[in-house]
Structure 1
Amino acid sequence: MSTKDDILKKIEILITNHFDSPKNAFDFFDENGDKKLSKSEIKNLLQKAEISGFIRGIVTSKLIEGYDKDGDQLISWSEFKAAIDEISS
């Protein structure tokens, strides 16, 4: 199983290589335009980052658990940015 650092690195590579900014990545994966990433939208991001299907669901839950500060089970732009800032540091 991939480690947390490996997974975060894959997400960073995806965003760096395919988007002009983290905000563009967020907007791309926010398929319904509600300014939040749902579990299915996060799974799509992880799939594009080449996180294996076996662990994608677990990682999605852990990302929400770790970064969802308002408890709505969604990731807002500010929560996403906090995760990206942590990855980049």
Structure 2
Amino acid sequence: MGTKEDVLNKIQILITNHFKTPEEAFAFFDKDGDGKLTKGEITELLKKAEISGFIRGIVSSKLVEGYDKSKDELIDWEEFKMAIAKIK
């Protein structure tokens, strides 16, 4: 399994190489347009970031657990920005 740094690095590469801004990446993965990423939407982001299928579910749960400050089991834009800030 990759380290936290490996996972965050792959997410950074995805955002940098495929989107003009983090906002564009967030909007792309927010499939229902509700302003929040579900675990399923986060899993899709991890898939695009080439995170191993075996660990995607675990990593998406850990990302929600680590950055979901509102405790709604979703990642909103502010929480996403905090996660992105850790990458940079």
Q: Same fold (TM over 0.5)?
A: yes
Write out per-residue CA displacement over residues 23-68 of structure 1, whole angstroms, 9 at most, x where no aligned residue. 0000000000000000100000000000011000000000000000
Partner of 1:26: 26
Partner of 2:59: 59
- Give the fraction of aligned pairs with identical amino acids, expressed as a percent: 67
Cα separation, 1, equivalents of 2:7 and 2:86: 13
Partner of 1:6: 6
Q: Which runs of 4+ in 1 moved over 3 A?
A: none
How far residue 72 of structure 1 moved from its aligned partner, in angstroms, is 0.2
Cα separation, 2, equivalents of 1:6 and 1:85: 15
Report the AA paired with residue 71 of structure 1: K
Query: Unpaired runs of 5+ in structure 2?
Result: none
Q: Root-mean-square deviation (CA), in Å? A: 0.3
TM, length-normalised to structure 2: 0.99
Q: Secondary structure at the match of 2:23?
A: helix
Partner of 2:44: 44
Aligned length, in residue pairs:
88
